[in-house]
């Protein structure tokens, strides 16, 4: 369908600017995307008070003007966008929930979530770093003494200086209680020994909030030490490509979710519950789709080697794909989701009989 003409949609609450939908011209596609963004922003402001709507609008405007046009270049050239982030700090985004006496904005965590969600529409990775920076400033503001608060927080709130949070180690990630980096006091200072990994802003930041062990094993033996860039003994390795690690985490999450939904369906079937058929169909649909996606992503990560029979991943892809068809296709499973559908029950059982009658000696 093609619509011609020009219509103007004035900016509403939560919309970053006046949006003009120009249909029937060369800019039709981009204009349509702007209109979709306009609608999204209006929905995103539902339930917010007037102050929060204003915070959101400022963040949306900044994201559209300063971040979105540069996002691809920042990513491709692996740039740390200092100038853009300092402009964000001028709007109060360098210490959003930090107390005002040290330069913070003094806003709530809900206000902060609204701001960061809006900023993420411009560049998600840059917004992620800004959120980490904010957390570091908040930690110093909350747990530091007055001298530390007034020394470190003001230049961090203006983003004259940048901060990084250092928790993950080569041998410990989410299991923070197992970290090994140690800090031993010698006179009026601490000597730190250890390594950190996957630090956002590593090598670029000026302040490093380092989680380290000052006591015994477990979480109670962990303290936090602020380390400034240029401290003797502080060094940085090459920049890591985090994409691969995140993909593995996503794949593991999909696998666990598939396992849980299958087990839930199995319990329902064992107990002969009325919703057993629907839950089994949902489990078949979800688990086969997700597990194929996992195997397919694994093959992609192997590159050309993934297609060679020397590597088992190509077989996992083929085997997981066929299970989207065996014992009822995933398309049929979607039909079976209708609550109380007797046809679903008959179809499910009929599919089982036809599969049992099939010649399983023939390749699928």
Residues annotated catalytic, as ranges: 327
Q: How many Cα atoms occupy the beta-carbon half-sphere of 168 within 13 Å?
A: 11
CA distance 309 to 166: 42
Distance CA 6, CA 58 (A): 27
Is the distance from CB of 200 to CB of 132 less than 8 angstroms?
Answer: yes
Q: Give the span between the Cα atoms of 221 and 159, in whole angstroms.
A: 31
| Cα gap 245→59, rounded to integer Å | 30
The number of C-alpha atoms within 13 Å of 277 and in the hemisphere containing its C-beta is: 20
Burial (CB count <10 Å: 0-12, 13-18, 19+), residue 1: exposed
**CB–CB of 284/330 below 8 Å?**
yes
- Shortest CA distance to 61 belongs to which of 87, 32, 27, 79? 87
Distances (CA, A) of 302 to 241, 290, 293: 16, 19, 14
Which residue in 222, 84, 216, 225 sits closest to 165, CA to CA? 225
Q: Helix or strand or coil: residue 28?
A: helix
Q: How far apart are CA 225 and CA 178, in angstroms?
A: 17
């Amino acid at each position: 369908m093609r619509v011609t003409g020009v219509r103007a949609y004035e900016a509403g609450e939560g919309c970053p600017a006046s949006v003009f939908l120009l249909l029937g011209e060369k800019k039709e596609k981009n204009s349509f995307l702007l209109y979709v963004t306009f609608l999204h922003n209006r929905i995103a402001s539902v339930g917010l008070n007037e102050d929060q709507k204003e915070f959101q609008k400022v963040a949306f405007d900044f994201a559209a003007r300063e971040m979105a046009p540069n996002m691809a270049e920042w990513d491709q050239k692996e740039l740390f966008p200092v100038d853009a982030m300092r402009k964000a700090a001028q709007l109060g985004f360098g210490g959003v929930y930090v107390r005002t006496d040290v330069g913070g904005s003094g806003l709530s965590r809900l206000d902060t979530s609204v701001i960061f969600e809006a900023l993420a529409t411009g560049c998600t990775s840059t917004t992620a770093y800004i959120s980490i920076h904010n957390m570091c400033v908040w930690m110093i503001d909350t747990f530091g003494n007055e001298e530390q608060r007034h020394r470190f927080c003001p230049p961090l709130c203006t983003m004259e200086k940048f901060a990084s949070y250092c928790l993950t180690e080569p041998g410990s990630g989410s299991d923070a209680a197992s970290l090994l980096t140690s800090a031993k006091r010698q006179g009026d200072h601490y000597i730190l020994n250890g390594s950190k990994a996957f630090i956002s802003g590593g090598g670029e930041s000026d302040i490093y909030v380092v989680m380290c062990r000052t006591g015994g094993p477990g979480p109670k033996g962990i303290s936090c030490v602020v380390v400034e860039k240029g401290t003797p003994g502080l060094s940085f390795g090459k920049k890591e490509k985090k994409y691969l690690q995140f993909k593995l985490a996503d794949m593991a999450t999909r696998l666990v979710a598939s396992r849980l939904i299958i087990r839930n369906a199995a319990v329902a079937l064992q107990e002969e519950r009325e919703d057993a058929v629907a839950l089994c169909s949902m489990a078949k649909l979800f688990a086969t789709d997700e597990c194929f996606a996992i195997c397919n992503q694994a093959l992609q990560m192997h590159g050309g080697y993934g297609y060679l029979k020397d590597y088992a991943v190509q077989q996992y892809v083929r085997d997981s794909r066929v299970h989207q068809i065996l014992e009822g296709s995933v398309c049929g499973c979607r039909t079976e989701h209708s609550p109380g559908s007797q046809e679903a029950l008959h179809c499910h059982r009929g599919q089982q009989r036809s599969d049992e009658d099939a010649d399983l000696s023939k390749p699928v």
